[in-house]
A and B are shown apart, each in its own frame.
Chain A
Amino acid sequence: MTTLDSSKEIKKNDSEASEHHEDFRMFGLITFLIADGMTFAGFFAAYLTYKAVNPLPDGAIYELELPIPTLNTILLLVSSATFHKAGRALLKNKNSDTQKWLMVTALLGITFLICQLFEYFNLPFGLTDNLFASTFYALTGFHGLHVTLGTLMILIISWQTRPKEGRITNQNMFPLEAVELYWHFVDGIWVILFIILYLL
């Protein structure tokens, strides 16, 4: 093998090659989100099938209170808008504004999770009570896990956007855009979940 000789050439060739092709990290992320969406699709399919064919035992409670989840829906939708604001601010090179909007988004995410936990503690059923309860917790829990991860990522990129030293600038917006897309995805899933689980 001529590895030693060719390793010198790599750098030269590599910078040549990378000039040719566009940034396709976003493409990879979208593919990943499609895969992630399929996991939710599987859960939704299971839930709807159960609803259609598996009658619950007598006396099982499956009525859900609407106020908290409605508040949560509003929280997430607003947070999508604030995240968008953060991206716009970065385009204008106002890093501290970006950080401010990201913190607001993270705060909304945390509030969502607190409300979700509050709902969990006040529900009249537990994880193993009946099929509806199990599916409810599995679906909202899996979504909550996504929100938790998203909130953590928002906090990380907010730190990375700090003026002057931060890694994320309007020259290198990909981390912000990636988390933003993920966050919109999680919001979108919540809206579907809200309709299927609470409204149907």
Chain B
Amino acid sequence: MTISIDSQDSNNNSLQPKGWLRYFSFSLDHKVIGIQYLVCGFLFYLIGGTLASAIRIELASPMSDFMPRDVYNQVLTLHGTIMIFLWIVPVVNGAFGNYLIPFYVGARDMAFPRLNAVAFWLIPPSGLMLVASYFVEGAAQAGWTAYPPLSITTPQSGQIIWIMSVLLLGGSSIFGGINFIATIIKLRRPGLKLMQLPMYCWAMLGTSLLVVLSTPVLAGTLILLSFDIVAHTGFFNPVLGGNVVVYQHLFWFYSHPAVYIMVLPAFGLVSEILPVHSRKPLFGYTTMVFSIMGIVVLGLVVWAHHMFTSGTPPWMRLFFTIATAFIAVPTGIKFFNWVATLWGGKISINSAMLFSCGFIINFVFGGITGVALAQVPFDIHVHDTYFVVAHFHYIVYGGTVFIIFSSIYHWFPKVTGKLMSEKLGILHFAITFIGFNLCFAPQHWLGLNGMPRRVAEYDPQFQFVNQISSLGALLMAISTIPFLLNIFLSIKNGEDSGDNPWNALTPEWLTSSPPPVENWEGEAPLVEEPYGYGKPISQEN
């Protein structure tokens, strides 16, 4: 950027409101924007969680007695869309990315601060639109996938608002992705090499590539879908000569990479947290980098494994099965690297560490069911059953959401300068871990026995297992209470943490906590070994 534009930015910055008010302003400070993403995302998580509870209450009995069937479909559509587009994607990319990436590359802000603020401020209005779409006549009820012809033939006004909202959220995501790529590639502090970057930078670089390459395809697809709904064209409407499978291909060309958009940043975050709390260097840095990039490349060519029952030709099934199985290789490398990082380390059992270990356990389980689902014969058996629901939640809740909580415990002292209560944190972990596994592990069994997903009623023989699952959901809902209590109590009268409570070596801890507006008082430090723990030269001794 030229000098004149930079000084304009800082002038704007000094005109921004101070204190808590700045979180409600069009702030250009990457740290403020990160917190805005996090809090906004968490509020939507509470809404999505309430909807999930409603789903589990409904499924506690085999009849649709808690809500009518169409309302059930609307609720599960809204639950999925909110959790993916307004909680996981914005928080694990936007919130932590904005807060940490400029520190990690040794910059004072993101590459395009104004674009960054625009990307965030697209989210609250489109989120409100999405929630509002539930209250209009004919709310969206075609699931988060919005498969035609269902999304064309069901009542449509809500579906159109749903599409507009997802388009805006996709735009926000693309702006964020462009910003992350430019920041990581172009804004690195002089002297900092790519292979010295903390792993989260690599994860965000890979994620942002996926965002930039695949989100526009979803946008184009949804534009065509809205043409089908509003102008009665026949792109995806078989009655008018259209082809529903084309929608599925285009949709999954985004939405399978979207799974990596949701989980790759979590890989990066856990790679930051584990070395700090086990006082060991990250095991296999280079293999980690290559496996992230391997996942990015492979992640773009596996989408049709979601469509094995859509009349996919055999050669396509073969190709996508093999490609999907290959993804297990880089993912497995990362998994073993994390375990090897822990091996023989000086492990502190605190909330951040517990959630990270919980992530590893849940994730490997979700990964194994994922490899199973990639096999055509098995997939055809369990397609659209609760097995898929269980697998997906093991990755996205047991994986990503666990890491979001872990990261909040890890970086809370950075943001506020206060420590969180470990007792409440461990209680939070215990209830979440038990509740999560109680909720989703039995669903594998339900799926294998043929209980379909997205249906309000089911065979009475499944009632007992469903009630166990609902009990787990209840525990998950309860687990939010100690977490919120912990946050509020710690902000109010938490113990002072000092600048670097974990004795971490990554760059964000080498400034004051909370950090000053432009991150460093003087020049940004050059961190050549972000994981140099347990070595004689490191700070520890």
Name A's B-contacting residues (CB within 8 A). 1-4, 6-7, 9-11, 13-15, 17-25, 27-28, 31-32, 34-43, 45-46, 49-50, 53-54, 56-57, 127-128, 130-131, 134-135, 138, 142, 172, 174
Bound-state Cα–Cα, A172 to B1, Å: 11
Our pick among A31, A43, A127, A138 for the contact of B182 (Cβ within 8 Å) is: A31
**Pick from A37, A40, A46: contact of B246, CB under 8 Å:** A46
Q: Does residue B350 face the partner (Cβ distance < 8 Å to A)?
A: no
* B243 contacts across to A, CB distance below 8 A: 49-50, 53-54, 131
CB–CB B517/A25 < 8 A: no
* Closest residue on chain A to residue B3 by CB atoms: A18
Q: In the bound complex, do residue B219 and residue A39 qualify as a contact, i.e. CB atoms below 8 Å apart? A: yes
Interface size class of B (residues with CB under 8 A): 35 or more
Q: Give CA–CA (A37, B214) in the complex, Å.
A: 11
**Chain B, 171-213, CB within 8 A of any chain A CB:** 174, 177-179, 181-182, 185-187, 190, 212-213
Subset of 5 A-B contacts with CB under 8 Å: A10-B517, A28-B178, A35-B178, A42-B253, A142-B220
Q: Kindly state the separation between the CA atoms of A50 and B217 in the bound complex, as whole angstroms.
A: 16
Q: Which residues of A contact B179 (CB under 8 A)?
A: 28
In the complex the two chains form, is B233's CB within 8 Å of A22's CB?
no
Residues of B close to A43: CB separation below 8 A: 220, 224
Partner of B234, one of A27, A39, A128, A142: A128
| B520: nearest chain-A partner, CB-CB | A13
Determine the chain B residues whose CB is within 8 A of the CB of A9 once the complex forms.
518, 521
- Determine whether B423 belongs to the interface, using a CB cutoff of 8 Å to chain A: no
**Which A residues touch B174, using CB under 8 A?**
32, 35
The answer on a CB contact under 8 Å between A24 and B181 is no
A120→B111 CA distance, assembly (Å): 42
Partner of A127, one of B9, B10, B231, B250: B231
Q: Which residues of A contact B7 (CB under 8 A)?
A: 11, 14-15, 18
> Are the CB atoms of A6 and B517 closer together than 8 Å?
yes
A56/B518 in contact, CB under 8 A: no
Question: Given contacts A1-B19, A6-B517, A14-B7, could you give 10 more A-B pairs where the C-beta distance is less than 8 Å?
Answer: A6-B518, A7-B14, A10-B10, A14-B9, A17-B107, A21-B186, A39-B216, A42-B217, A43-B220, A131-B241
| 9 cross-chain pairs, A with B, having the tightest CB-CB distances, nearest first | A42-B217, A24-B186, A42-B220, A39-B216, A18-B6, A38-B216, A134-B233, A7-B14, A6-B516
Q: Which of A13, A24, A49, A138 has the most CB of B within 10 A?
A: A13
- What are the interface flags for B212-256 relative to A under an 8 Å C-beta threshold, 1 for contact and 0 otherwise? 111111011101100100011111000011110010011001000
Nearest-Cβ distance from residue B33 to partner chain A, whole angstroms: 16
CB neighbours of A6 from chain B (8 A): 516-518, 521
Tell me which of A10, A28, A37 contacts B14 (CB under 8 A): A10
Q: Flag if A27 contacts B186 (CB, 8 Å).
A: yes
- With contact pairs A20-B190, A39-B217, A39-B220 given, residues A138 and B227 touching in the complex (Cβ less than 8 Å): yes
Would B231 and A128 count as touching, CB distance under 8 A?
yes
Smallest CB separation, B99 vs chain A (Å) = 15
B286 at the interface (CB under 8 A from A): no
Q: Are B182 and A27 in contact (CB under 8 A)?
A: yes
How near does chain A come to B491, taking the closest CB pair, in angstroms? Answer: 14
Give the distance to chain A from B55, nearest Cβ to Cβ, in Å.
32
Interface assignment of B497: CB less than 8 Å from any CB of chain A: no
Instruction: Point out the residues of chain B lying under 8 angstroms from A20, CB to CB.
Output: 190
The answer to whether B212 and A35 touch across the interface, beta carbons within 8 angstroms, is yes
A38→B1 contact, CB < 8 A: no
Query: What distance in Å separates the Cβ of B316 from its nearest Cβ neighbour in chain A?
Result: 12
Residues of A within 8 A of B235 (CB): 46, 131, 134-135, 138
Contacting pair A42 B517 (CB below 8 A): no
Query: In the complex, are the beta carbons of B216 and A36 less than 8 A apart?
Result: yes
User: Which A residues touch B461, using CB under 8 A?
Assistant: none
Q: Is B112 an interface residue, CB under 8 A from the partner?
A: yes
A127 CA to B214 CA, complexed, in Å: 27
- Smallest CB gap from B29: residue in A: A3
For the complex, give the distance between the alpha carbons of A57 and B241 in Å: 8
B541 contacts A by Cβ under 8 Å = no
What is the distance, in angstroms, from B531's C-beta to the closest C-beta of chain A? 26
Nearest CB of chain A from residue B315's CB, rounded to whole Å: 15
CB distance from B123 to the nearest CB of A (A): 18
By a CB distance below 8 angstroms, the chain B residues around A28 are: 111-112, 115, 178-179, 182
